[in-house]
Amino acid sequence: MELSGNTLFIKDVLVLSNAEFFIRDSMRLLEDFDQERLEINLDELGLIDTGGVAALDLLKEKMGNKGFEVDYTGGKEDIRRKMEIFSLDNPMVFEGSRKISFFEKIGEGFERIVRDYMSSFLVLTANVVYWSISDIFKSKRQRKGEFYNQAVLIGVNAIWIVAGLAFIIGLVMALQSSAQLRNFGANIYIVDLTVIAMMSEMGPLITAIVVAGRSGSAIAAEIATMKVTSELDALKTMALQPVRFVVVPKMHGSVITLPFLTIIADIMGILGGMFIAFVSLDITPQVFVNRMAETLYNRDIFIGIIKSLVFAVIIVLTGSFYGLRVKEGAEGVGKVTTTAVVVSITLVMVADSIMGLLFY
Amino acid sequence: MRENNIIQVRNLSASFNGRDILSDVSFDVFEKDITVILGGSGAGKSVLLKHMLGLYEPREGSIHILGHDMAGLEEKDQKQMYLRMGVFYQNGGLLNSLTVGENIALPLEQHTDLNDELISRIVWTKLQLVNLPNAYGLYPSQLSGGMLKRAALARAIVMDPPLLFCDEPGAGLDPISLASLDKLILNLRAQMGISVVIITHEVSSILRIADRIVFIDEGKVIFEGTLNEGLESNVEHVYQFFEKGKL
């Protein structure tokens, strides 16, 4: 390449492999260019490809932006033909990359949350709640055995993991507290602490987190796969409501089984606490049970059960919502599954805090 | 005999699990021609393509592409060779997690030093060439079957390869989309001067675009020549293929 007067002579070869250097070198060469008009002469150019044409167009645009008038001159027939074919004839396509201001981004983000998430989540919630209640009285609307299948998948199969985890948490909680209580001579309060914490807080929470991780992800993945493979469309064209057919049995299954799972978690957590109380603080099981009868009120048990019902609804709704939102094929299934688990655990925590404030 | 052959396949034989898939296959592909490799299902077309792409080692024989023996290439040379070939897969082979624009830009980002602005211009140019100017930000799952094929074609030609391989490009397309894809391949050949090797058994497509045909039957080349020679051929299978395909 050579600059002579107002003409830039492009020589030899301009292809993908040297396009980047060409732009860099030519801009350096034209740094002090002071004429009104720049001619890019292509007479000595032997070979050009898409990358070369893109580089020439970019140079023309950059010089044009600086206020110079830029034209191509000369060039063999083959070169001119390629310039014509590979030049972008629609500069509008670059509009997409225009800079968006900070406030515009906030506005767009808020609009997207309201439009894409909140409204469709509310619609799904309304549908699921309506069909879940109305279908209790119309057993023919569900596939035979579907409720049983879902109850086993979501609830029964989770018993061992929930029970084991609750026992360990009850154990650890009591172990950590026992040292402090012993210092104050308040050993017996280990019972109050373990029982109330497990019944109204830890039991429902542990159960919900396990079920969200186990079944929430399964619900999202199953529904997303059904959408990607057009199974949901097939249901629609068979005049079956996908939400009613797919989501409602899961909702019934989880709402029925989660309270039972929570009760199992409560019992196992208390057993863990009882074990530590006996080993570490010399409180016999007999004394532990007697104290528990004085400490535990029906209210605490009901709060735990109400929480577990709310958590069950959150887990199924979140899993279904993200499953139904899948867009990008197989990759998308993984993405919505992860999001469903993260969001459902977060929502469970938020709901737990709100209910905690309401009930105390 | 023409001399500008860019692919030379000589006495190629391949077998899997003791079963012969290709035996003594020889043919040439010439510069700027559209060569169609055709034959019935199970004839060995896809295995032949995989050998040409260097994905399988020949049991016997050789394949020379752009003057290089595909079997004897070092890894580095093989990579250079792949940069000079575009491959258009039957199902598109686009990555679903990337947009169409990102898919097409991928080879440029990985194999060149071009900056984002130049890459984006080249991608737009390719999208324009395949008549998909508005697909830059769309995901493959948002495209129709025909659009998906065109996007895959844009990715196959993004490095301006002198040679393009197409594996069953028309599979799953309706006749109108297929005709439009054929027209696109013809245009690309005219505009970019690339040589094209197409594996297909779509008779309508072969009649529209082929300069030369190589007919494979039970792993053997039973006919090689121009399309017109093929249409007038007395070879039983070739004759039947075109006659029944026209119905």
One-character DSSP codes across A54-112? HHHHHHHHHHHHTT-EEEEE---HHHHHHHHHHS-S-GGGGGGG----HHHHHHHHHHH
Contact residues on chain A for B117, CB-CB shorter than 8 A:
58
Residues A145 and A253 placed together within one structural domain of the fold: yes
Max avg pLDDT among A110-124, A125-139, A152-166 = A152-166
Is pLDDT above 90 for A350?
yes
Task: Return the residue of B nearest to A85 by Cα.
Answer: B191
Contact residues on chain B for A61, CB-CB shorter than 8 A:
none
pLDDT at residue A169, as a whole number: 93
Helices (H), ranges, chain A? 16-29, 50-65, 77-86, 102-112, 119-134, 146-154, 159-184, 189-197, 203-211, 217-228, 231-237, 242, 248-281, 285-295, 298-324, 329-359
* Residues counted in chain B: 247
Rg value, chain A, Cα: 34
A27 burial type by CB count under 10 A (0-12 exposed, 13-18 middle, 19+ buried) = middle
- Select from B97, B141, B159 the Cβ nearest to the Cβ of A16: B159
Q: Residue A23's domain is classified under what CATH number?
A: 3.30.750.24
- High-pLDDT (> 90) share of chain A, %: 34
pLDDT at residue A98, as a whole number: 57
| Chain A interface, Cβ < 8 Å to B | 15-17, 19-20, 23, 49-51, 53-55, 57-58, 82, 85-90, 93-94, 96-97, 228, 327-332
Residues A287 and A171 placed together within one structural domain of the fold: yes
Q: Which of A13, A14, A16, A88 to mutate to test the interface with B (most CBs of B within 10 A)?
A: A16
Contact B141 A93 (CB under 8 A): no
- Select from B117, B133, B191 the Cβ nearest to the Cβ of A58: B117
* B199 SS3 class: strand
Q: Bigger pLDDT: A71 or A143?
A: A71
Dist CA B13 CA B21 (whole Å): 8
Is pLDDT above 80 for B10?
yes
pLDDT at residue A93, as a whole number: 46
Residues A87 and A181 placed together within one structural domain of the fold: no
Is pLDDT above 70 for A305?
yes
Q: Bigger pLDDT: B31 or B109?
A: B31
Strand B5-16 versus strand B60-65 pairing type? antiparallel
Dist CA B9 CA B27 (whole Å): 5
Q: What confidence category does residue A157 fall into, taking pLDDT thresholds of 50, 70 and 90?
A: very high
Task: Work out how many domains chain A is built from and give that number.
Answer: 2
The domain boundary, picked from A45, A71, A97, lies at A97
pLDDT at residue B55, as a whole number: 79
Judged by average pLDDT, the poorest of A25-39, A147-161, A315-329, B84-98 is B84-98
**Within 10 A of A306 (CB to CB), how many other CB atoms are there?**
15
Dihedral (CA of B71, B74, B78, B81) sign: negative
Q: What confidence category does residue A239 fall into, taking pLDDT thresholds of 50, 70 and 90?
A: low
CB B112 within 8 A of CB A48: no
Is pLDDT above 50 for A96?
no
Residues A280 and A310 placed together within one structural domain of the fold: yes
What is the pLDDT averaged over residues A304-312? 94
pLDDT at residue A253, as a whole number: 93
Contact B139 A328 (CB under 8 A): yes
CATH number of B5-84+163-246: 3.40.50.300
Q: Bigger pLDDT: A346 or B218?
A: A346
Max avg pLDDT among A303-307, B51-55, B237-241 = A303-307
Average pLDDT across chain A, whole number = 87
In this structure, what DSSP letter does residue A214 have?
Answer: I
Is pLDDT above 90 for B214?
yes
Contact A57 B139 (CB under 8 A): no
The domain boundary, picked from A73, A97, A121, lies at A97
Per residue in A188-214, pLDDT (tens digit) is: 888 888 998 898 889 999 999 999 999
For residue B204, the one-letter residue type is S
Judged by average pLDDT, the poorest of A85-89, A158-162, B145-149, B178-182 is A85-89
pLDDT at residue A92, as a whole number: 44
Q: Which of B110, B111, B122 to mutate to test the interface with A (most CBs of A within 10 A)?
A: B122
Is pLDDT above 50 for A100?
yes
Contact B124 A51 (CB under 8 A): no
pLDDT at residue A252, as a whole number: 92
The domain boundary, picked from A34, A65, A97, lies at A97
Q: Where are the domains of chain B?
A: 5-84+163-246, 96-160
Q: Does any domain span residue A108? A: no
Is pLDDT above 80 for A360?
no
Contact residues on chain A for B159, CB-CB shorter than 8 A:
16
3-state helix, strand, coil in chain B (%, to 5): 40, 25, 35
Dist CA B145 CA B151 (whole Å): 10
Q: Does any domain span residue A353? A: yes
Q: Does any domain span residue A93? A: yes
Contact residues on chain B for A16, CB-CB shorter than 8 A:
108, 112, 114, 122, 159-160
Residues A219 and A244 placed together within one structural domain of the fold: yes
Task: Return the residue of A nearest to B143 by Cα.
Answer: A328
Longest dimension (CA), chain A: 104
Residues A6 and A91 placed together within one structural domain of the fold: yes
Residues A40 and A164 placed together within one structural domain of the fold: no
Dist CA B158 CA B106 (whole Å): 9
Contact A54 B125 (CB under 8 A): yes
B28's CB contacts (< 8 A; 6+ apart) are B2, B5, B7, B8, B9, B224
Contact A332 B141 (CB under 8 A): yes
Q: Bigger pLDDT: A238 or A6?
A: A6
What is the pLDDT averaged over residues A215-225? 93
Contact A329 B140 (CB under 8 A): yes
CB B167 within 8 A of CB B161: no
Q: Does any domain span residue A259? A: yes
pLDDT at residue A328, as a whole number: 67
Q: What confidence category does residue B2 fall into, taking pLDDT thresholds of 50, 70 and 90?
A: low
Residues A88 and A143 placed together within one structural domain of the fold: no
Per residue in B145-204, pLDDT (tens digit) is: 888 888 999 999 999 999 999 988 888 888 888 888 898 889 888 888 899 999 988 888
Residues A83 and A192 placed together within one structural domain of the fold: no
Q: Does any domain span residue A137? A: yes
pLDDT at residue A95, as a whole number: 46
Task: Quote the distance between the C-alpha of residue B247 and its chain's center.
Answer: 26
Contact residues on chain A for B97, CB-CB shorter than 8 A:
328, 331
- High-pLDDT (> 70) share of chain B, %: 97
What is the pLDDT averaged over residues A126-147? 79
Dist CA B173 CA B155 (whole Å): 19
What is the pLDDT averaged over residues A277-302? 88
Q: Provide φ and ψ at A72, rounded to 5°.
A: -95, 140
pLDDT at residue B237, as a whole number: 84
- Select from B112, B120, B128 the Cβ nearest to the Cβ of A16: B112
Dist CA A119 CA A94 (whole Å): 32
pLDDT at residue B8, as a whole number: 92
Separation in Å, CA A181 to CA A175, A189, A227 = 10, 7, 55
Work out the minimum CA distance from B247 to partner chain A, whole angstroms: 33
Dist CA A181 CA A277 (whole Å): 11
Q: Bigger pLDDT: A92 or A204?
A: A204
Is pLDDT above 90 for B144?
no
Contact B141 A23 (CB under 8 A): no
What is the pLDDT averaged over residues B23-39? 92
Domain that holds residue A15: 2-97
What is the pLDDT averaged over residues B71-94? 82
